[in-house]
Amino acid sequence: MADADDVRRLALALPHVVEIDSEGFDFRVAGKGFVWSYPERTPGRPRVIRTDVAVLYVGDEAEKQALLLGEPERFFTTPTYDGLPLVMLRLARVGVDRLAELVTDAWRMRAPASLVDDLDAGADPVSPI
pLDDT digits (tens, 9 = 90+) for 22-31: 999 999 999 9
pLDDT score of 129 more than 60: no
Angle between the N-to-C axes of helices 4-12 and 96-110, in degrees from 0 to 180, rounded to the nearest 10: 50
> How far is the C-alpha of 113 from the C-alpha of 48, rounded, in Å?
34
Ramachandran category for residue 126: left, alpha or beta (phi over 0 → left; psi -120 to 50 → alpha): beta
Q: What pLDDT score was predicted for residue 122? A: 62
Of 55, 52, 56, the residue nearest 92 (C-alpha) = 52
Residues in CB range of 104: below 8 A, 6 or more apart:
10, 14, 125, 126
Give the side-chain half-sphere CA count within 13 A for 61.
4
pLDDT score of 128 more than 70: no
pLDDT digits (tens, 9 = 90+) for 28-69: 999 999 999 999 998 899 999 999 999 999 999 999 999 999
